[in-house]
A and B are shown apart, each in its own frame.
Chain A
Amino acid sequence: TQLLEQSPQFLSIQEGENLTVYCNSSSVFSSLQWYRQEPGEGPVLLVTVVTGGEVKKLKRLTFQFGDARKDSSLHITAAQPGDTGLYLCAGPLYNTDKLIFGTGTRLQVFP
């Protein structure tokens, strides 16, 4: 059983569409991060959210941390083919040093 569940698992959309990816847990996290991974590479950090209710924007990407610090979402506006990749949420379990990753969402954006 994964502590961080992501949905959807796969997403295939046309360029220009909007999408939201969810990251949910029954556990509290002191912070949550979003990474993107491309084939043959390790994950690369996109953003860290720390405060419950926090919203961060990174160009066309909007990240939100739930009030109870158990969930997060990633919204992409006007998706582009360059957004294609595996998106992973991750976080240190509250009061531990374990950095846990979510199940992943594989996004494919077609031109």
Chain B
Amino acid sequence: NAGVTQTPKFRVLKTGQSMTLLCAQDMNHEYMYWYRQDPGMGLRLIHYSVGEGTTAKGEVPDGYNVSRLKKQNFLLGLESAAPSQTSVYFCASSYSGVAFFGQGTRLTVV
């Protein structure tokens, strides 16, 4: 069982470039989430999904878009990366309110 898998694990972007982070889960969970983690800030919710074809905004959604075309995948897109989006990004899926996390993607925007 792979659980929650994030790709890529590391990425460096130039300001203005775009990219997509992929999250895949094999636990058949309905709920999926994208968080960012900055030093001293805990985890902040970017967007989430309560099922295939649905998405909703979290606490810090600006500058990000998401899609949930298939139940097992949740994609996070940055259309025009900014240095303020330098962070570690975590994807999670949940069942009965309990979240299972991927290992994170460290993104640096220069």
Contacts and interface: CB of A to CB of B under 8 A. Distances in A.
B98 A103 contact: no
A99 B95 CA distance: 11
A2 B45 contact: no
A63 to B, nearest CB: 14
Interface stretch (B14-22, B35-43, B69-77, B78-86): B35-43
A40 B104 contact: yes
A40 to B, nearest CB: 7
Interface residues of B, number: 26
B45 A98 contact: yes
B43 to A, nearest CB: 4
Contacts of B99: 33, 35, 43, 45, 90, 99
Given A9-B40, A42-B102, A101 B45 contact: yes
B48 A88 contact: no
Contact of B42 (A2, A31, A44, A99): A2
A90 B97 CA distance: 10
B62 interface: no
Contacts of B101: 42-44
Contacts of A33: 97-99
Given A99-B33, A104-B41, 14 more contacts: A2-B42, A2-B44, A9-B40, A31-B97, A42-B90, A43-B43, A43-B99, A44-B101, A90-B99, A97-B31, A99-B45, A99-B92, A99-B94, A100-B59
Interface of A: 2-4, 6, 9, 30-31, 33, 35, 40-45, 48, 88, 90-92, 97-104
The 4 closest A-B pairs by CB, nearest first: A42-B101, A101-B43, A104-B42, A103-B42
